[in-house]
């Protein structure tokens, strides 16, 4: 197990280094000099230019520059935003809370409703199963931004149950303000997870251990709790984890639709303002979060399923 | 595109028509016909659309459905139906670029990996793994940050991001095919690796490739529309379906229809494409 974890950790580090390399290196793929990209269309004084050159080590070889950038990023220093003349890290920490709240909220919704609806669909009455399947069919075809717009129209404009924009303050304020965004973000994944849960619970119902347990005369509730649900959990946990990792890119869309001041919105305004230092920093954070979540899912999956021998890597 | 032509030229063309109809089923044919209809409407927008996309009817702003404007007009008096039809052009062209690019690269990568095996396979698989780890939407945003917004920038980045999805499925289908005795037979006869890949491996896994490309078309349509919604793809006053959905002021002023129509069109188109893709995959 230690060897397995070690290898997972190593591949995690490799992926992180490669993607940070891509994000940093893209600066040099852009048309024009790195200087031109970093400054965008802002005119800067020679002093600022010299400071930025020093910060990015622009007079040194590429690998040295990357090394400086990556090591200071690890220490939480992402340089200075040229457009706003403030530290990038400061701008990020000011808005990260909203995004984290949103992702956690949506994850809770996905896990709760996805598994609940899936189990009801698999074990409940046929009619209910039919309507849940129709709903999930529609749900998996609705893009996040269309879901956002429909939710705004129905629950914010027509019914006026929720605010149209803004992230709210305090825990309950946020909970209230972020309900629609989190629902929009979770909708697709809930529909998908419901289907996966339904299939894996159904499969387990006909598995040998479950039939044996039923034949032994165990109470159906015991059979379902001990054998069906527990075995069905393996694919469910994997899919849940992957869906949650997928949310990280989805936050950009939802934050734009609901006018939330989060990391995604910061990324978009930085793209618009050609504030490349911030673009790099936010991209690095979002991609790293995605990669780390994926690796955690991999590890969890292996721990849940004893049949998968850590060490035998299937291609 | 040359690969697609090549696939249509596969030796068993005679049977493909019949098998295709069988595979698709009635639902699949209806779905495919719907998408084809949209594509035709897009291609002949200048004939089909009642108005130019940016023609403004100042006397009829934000009006409901009427004989002159079947789906009504937006806040500038532009005909909503016409904008939907013209918007179909970039909405459908973008995903076509994405899957063409992704399929060509994926085929090259997968057939090289399968044919050479060993270290080459390992390196190609690792590179694909890396691009798996990079969300397509974020890659596109990074590219737009460098090269500015636009359909080509977005489609190319998504093309790269979609490659591993198609390549992975193609690779495992090809691996299965490669181990079959007839491949060993033609190999013994001295046929080159390139010729075997082009004449045998690719044609024989073509149904997997087609179905994967079709399903990816649906996802690409959603991602590109989302990028337009974010203001990174098509730039107003030009519009694709994503731009048309990005109109919060219409909602707040009580004209949800002009936002809901393109939304429904995206959902219907993606559902149809995905259904066809799944039918193609079914044996």
Which positions ≥6 away from A207 have C-beta within 8 Å? Answer: A227, A231
Per-residue pLDDT at B30 exceeds 70: yes
CA distance A286 to chain B (A): 8
Other beta carbons less than 10 A from residue A71's beta carbon: 10
User: What are the φ and ψ backbone dihedral angles of A60, each rounded to 5 degrees?
Assistant: -105, 170
**CA-based radius of gyration for chain A:** 24
Per-residue pLDDT at A131 exceeds 70: yes
CA distance B154 to chain A (A): 14
Max CA separation in chain A (angstroms): 84
Q: Do A271 and B141 touch (CB under 8 A)?
A: yes
More confident residue, A131 or B5: A131
Structure tokens at B87: 């918007």
Q: Spell out the SS3 assignment of chain A.
A: CHHHHHHHHHHHHHHHHHHHHHHHHHHHHCCCCHHHHHHCCCCCCHHHHHHHHHHHCCCCCHHHHHHHHHHHHHCCCCCEECCCCEEHHHHHHHHHHHHHHHHHHHHHHHHHHHHHHHHHHHHCCHHHHHHHHHHHHHHCCCCHHHHHHHHHHHHHHHCCCCCCCCCCCHHHHHHHHCHHHHHHHHHHHHHHHHHHHHHHHHHHHCCHHHHHHHHCCCCHHHHHHHHHHHHHHHHHHHHHHHHHHHHHHHHHHHHHHCCCCCHHHHHHHHHHCCCHHHHHHHHHHHHHHHHHHHHHHHHHHHHHCCCCCCCCCCC
Q: Do A149 and B135 touch (CB under 8 A)?
A: no
| pLDDT in the model for residue A54 | 73
Q: Do A249 and B137 touch (CB under 8 A)?
A: yes
Q: Do B271 and A141 touch (CB under 8 A)?
A: yes
Distance CA A158, CA B126 (A): 50
| pLDDT in the model for residue A252 | 94
Which residue in chain A has the smallest CA separation from B175? A315
- Per-residue pLDDT of B54-105, as tens digits, reads 888 888 888 888 888 888 888 888 998 999 999 999 999 999 999 999 999 9
Considering only the beta carbons, identify the residue of A18, A30, A249 that sits closest to B138. A249
Task: Count residue pairs from A and B with Cβ separation < 8 A.
Answer: 114
**CA-based radius of gyration for chain B:** 22
| pLDDT in the model for residue A111 | 93
pTM: 0.87
Per-residue pLDDT at B3 exceeds 60: no
Task: Give, in order, the Cα–Cα distances in Å from A209 to each of A71, B147, B171, B222.
Answer: 53, 58, 35, 42
Instruction: Confirm if A276 and B145 have CB atoms less than 8 A apart.
Output: yes
- Cα dihedral sign, B178-B179-B183-B189: positive
| pLDDT in the model for residue A222 | 85
| pLDDT in the model for residue B7 | 39
Q: Do A26 and B270 touch (CB under 8 A)?
A: no
Q: How confident is the model at residue A75 (pLDDT cuts 50, 70, 90)?
A: confident
Q: Do A19 and B254 touch (CB under 8 A)?
A: no
Average pLDDT over residues B270-281: 89
| pLDDT in the model for residue A80 | 77
CA distance B224 to chain A (A): 11
Of B125, B128, B162, B156, residue with least CA distance to B142 = B156
Instruction: Confirm if B69 and B81 have CB atoms less than 8 A apart.
Output: yes
% of residues, chain A, pLDDT over 70: 93
Distance CA A244, CA A100 (A): 12
Distance CA B255, CA B72 (A): 10
- CB-based contact, B134 to chain A, within 8 Å: yes
Q: Do A253 and B222 touch (CB under 8 A)?
A: no
Mutation target among B27, B119, B124, B142 for the A interface, most CBs of A within 10 A: B142
Q: Do B260 and A150 touch (CB under 8 A)?
A: yes
| pLDDT in the model for residue B96 | 97
Q: Which residues of A touch B260 (CB under 8 A)?
A: 149-150, 153
- CB-based contact, A268 to chain B, within 8 Å: yes
Q: Which residues of B touch A270 (CB under 8 A)?
A: 145
Average pLDDT over residues A9-38: 83
Q: Which residues of A touch B178 (CB under 8 A)?
A: none
Average pLDDT over residues A132-160: 88
Considering only the beta carbons, identify the residue of B135, B246, B248 that sits closest to A249. B135
Q: Do A146 and B130 touch (CB under 8 A)?
A: no
CA distance A160 to chain B (A): 11
Q: Which residues of A touch B129 (CB under 8 A)?
A: 15
Per-residue pLDDT at B9 exceeds 90: no
Distance CA B83, CA B49 (A): 8
Q: How confident is the model at residue A108 (pLDDT cuts 50, 70, 90)?
A: very high
Class of residue A8 by CB neighbours under 10 A (exposed 0-12, middle 13-18, buried 19+): middle
Per-residue pLDDT at B10 exceeds 70: no
Q: Which residues of A touch B246 (CB under 8 A)?
A: 145
Per-residue pLDDT at A86 exceeds 90: no
| pLDDT in the model for residue B2 | 41
Mutation target among A141, A160, A187, A292 for the B interface, most CBs of B within 10 A: A141
Distance CA B3, CA A300 (A): 40
CA distance A203 to chain B (A): 20
Mutation target among B91, B130, B133, B152 for the A interface, most CBs of A within 10 A: B133
CA distance A270 to chain B (A): 8
% of residues, chain B, pLDDT over 70: 93
CA distance A222 to chain B (A): 37
User: Average pLDDT of chain B?
Assistant: 87
- Residues facing residue A87 across a β-bridge: A80
Question: In CATH terms, is domain B88-273 a member of 3.40.50.300?
Answer: no
Q: How confident is the model at residue B6 (pLDDT cuts 50, 70, 90)?
A: very low
Q: How confident is the model at residue A309 (pLDDT cuts 50, 70, 90)?
A: low
Structure tokens at B279: 């039918």
| pLDDT in the model for residue B12 | 46
Max CA separation in chain B (angstroms): 76
Distance CA B43, CA B37 (A): 10
Q: Which residues of B touch A23 (CB under 8 A)?
A: 142
Helices assigned H by DSSP within chain B: 2-8, 13-43, 45-48, 80-116, 118-132, 136-147, 151-178, 181-188, 193-196, 202-204, 206-229, 241-245, 248-252, 257-281
Considering only the beta carbons, identify the residue of A142, A252, A256 that sits closest to B267. A142
Per-residue pLDDT at B46 exceeds 50: yes
Work out the angle at residue A92's Cα, subtended by the Cα atoms of residues B154 and B143, and round it to the nearest 5 degrees. 15
- Per-residue pLDDT of B165-196, as tens digits, reads 999 999 989 988 888 888 888 888 888 888 88
- Per-residue pLDDT of B230-252, as tens digits, reads 999 999 989 899 999 998 888 88
- Which residues in chain A (244-263) have CB-CB distances under 8 A to chain B? 246, 248-250, 252-253, 256-257
Q: Which residues of A touch B145 (CB under 8 A)?
A: 270-271, 274, 276, 279
- CB-based contact, B266 to chain A, within 8 Å: yes
CA distance A143 to chain B (A): 6
Count of CA atoms in the C-beta half-sphere (13 A) of A208: 0
Q: How confident is the model at residue A298 (pLDDT cuts 50, 70, 90)?
A: confident
Q: How confident is the model at residue B142 (pLDDT cuts 50, 70, 90)?
A: very high
Question: Taking the mean position of all CA atoms in its chain, how far away is CA B278?
Answer: 14
| pLDDT in the model for residue B104 | 96
Q: How far apart are the first and last CA of chain A?
A: 19
Q: Spell out the SS3 assignment of A165-221.
A: CCCCCHHHHHHHHCHHHHHHHHHHHHHHHHHHHHHHHHHHHCCHHHHHHHHCCCCHH
Distance CA B165, CA A91 (A): 35
Distance CA B9, CA A98 (A): 54
At B247, is the secondary structure helix, strand, or coil?
A: coil
| pLDDT in the model for residue A40 | 66
| pLDDT in the model for residue B248 | 82
Distance CA B265, CA A116 (A): 30
DSSP state letter for B235: P
Distance CA B104, CA B83 (A): 32
Per-residue pLDDT at A15 exceeds 50: yes
Q: Out of A11-25, A117-131, A223-237, which region has the weakest mean confidence (pLDDT)? A: A223-237
């Amino acid at each position: 197990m230690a060897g397995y974890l070690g290898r997972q950790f190593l591949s995690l580090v490799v992926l992180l280094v490669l993607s940070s390399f891509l994000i940093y290196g893209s600066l040099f793929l852009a048309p024009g000099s790195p200087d031109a990209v970093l400054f965008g269309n802002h005119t800067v004084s020679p002093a600022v230019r010299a400071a930025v050159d020093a910060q990015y080590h622009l007079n040194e070889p590429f690998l040295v520059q990357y090394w400086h950038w990556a090591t200071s990023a690890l220490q939480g220093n992402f340089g200075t935003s040229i457009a706003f003349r403030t530290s990038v890290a400061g701008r990020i920490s000011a808005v990260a809370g909203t995004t984290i709240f949103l992702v956690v909220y949506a994850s809770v919704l996905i896990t709760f409703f996805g598994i609940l609806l899936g189990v009801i669909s698999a074990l409940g009455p046929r009619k209910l199963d039919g309507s849940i399947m129709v709903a999930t069919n529609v749900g998996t075809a609705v893009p996040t931004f269309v879901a956002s717009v429909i939710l705004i129209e129905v629950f914010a404009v027509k019914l006026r149950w929720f605010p149209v924009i803004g992230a709210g303050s305090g825990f309950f304020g946020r909970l209230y303000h972020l309900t629609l965004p989190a629902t929009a973000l979770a909708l697709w994944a809930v529909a998908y997870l419901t289907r996966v849960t339904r299939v894996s619970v159904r499969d387990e119902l006909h598995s040998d251990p479950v039939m044996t347990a039923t034949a032994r005369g165990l109470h159906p509730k015991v059979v379902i709790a001990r054998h069906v649900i527990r075995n069905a959990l393996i694919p469910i946990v994997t899919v849940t984890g992957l869906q949650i990792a997928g949310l990280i890119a989805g936050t950009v869309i939802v934050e734009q639709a609901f006018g939330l001041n989060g990391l995604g919105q910061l990324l978009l305004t930085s793209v618009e303002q050609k504030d490349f230092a911030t673009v790099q920093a936010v991209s690095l954070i979002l991609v790293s979060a995605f990669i780390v979540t994926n690796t955690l899912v991999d590890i969890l999956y292996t721990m849940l399923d004893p049949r998968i021998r850590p060490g035998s890597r299937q291609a | 595109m040359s690969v697609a032509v090549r696939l249509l030229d596969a030796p068993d063309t005679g049977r493909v028509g019949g098998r295709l109809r069988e595979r698709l089923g009635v639902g699949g044919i209806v779905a495919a016909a719907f998408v084809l209809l949209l594509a035709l409407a897009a291609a002949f927008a200048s004939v089909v659309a009642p108005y130019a996309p940016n023609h403004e009817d100042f006397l009829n702003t934000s009006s409901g459905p009427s004989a002159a404007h079947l789906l009504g007009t937006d806040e500038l008096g532009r005909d909503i139906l016409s904008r939907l039809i013209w918007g179909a052009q970039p909405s459908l062209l973008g995903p076509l670029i994405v899957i063409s690019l992704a399929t060509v690269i994926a085929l090259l990568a997968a057939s090289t990996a399968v044919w050479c095996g060993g270290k080459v396979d390992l390196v190609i698989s690792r590179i694909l793994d890396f691009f798996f780890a990079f969300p397509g939407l974020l890659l596109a945003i990074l590219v737009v940050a460098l090269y500015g917004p636009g359909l080509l920038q977005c489609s190319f980045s998504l093309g790269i991001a979609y490659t591993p999805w198609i390549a992975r499925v193609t690779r495992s289908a090809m691996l299965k095919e490669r181990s079959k005795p007839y491949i060993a037979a033609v190999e013994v006869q001295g046929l080159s690796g390139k010729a075997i890949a082009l004449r045998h491996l690719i044609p024989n896994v073509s149904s997997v490739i087609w179905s994967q490309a079709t399903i990816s078309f649906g996802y690409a349509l959603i991602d590109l529309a989302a990028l337009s919604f974010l203001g990174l793809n098509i730039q107003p006053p030009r519009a694709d379906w994503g731009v048309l959905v990005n109109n919060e002021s219409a909602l707040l002023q009580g004209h949800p229809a002009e936002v809901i129509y393109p939304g429904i069109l995206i959902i219907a188109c993606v559902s149809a494409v995905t259904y066809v893709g799944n039918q193609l995959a079914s044996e």
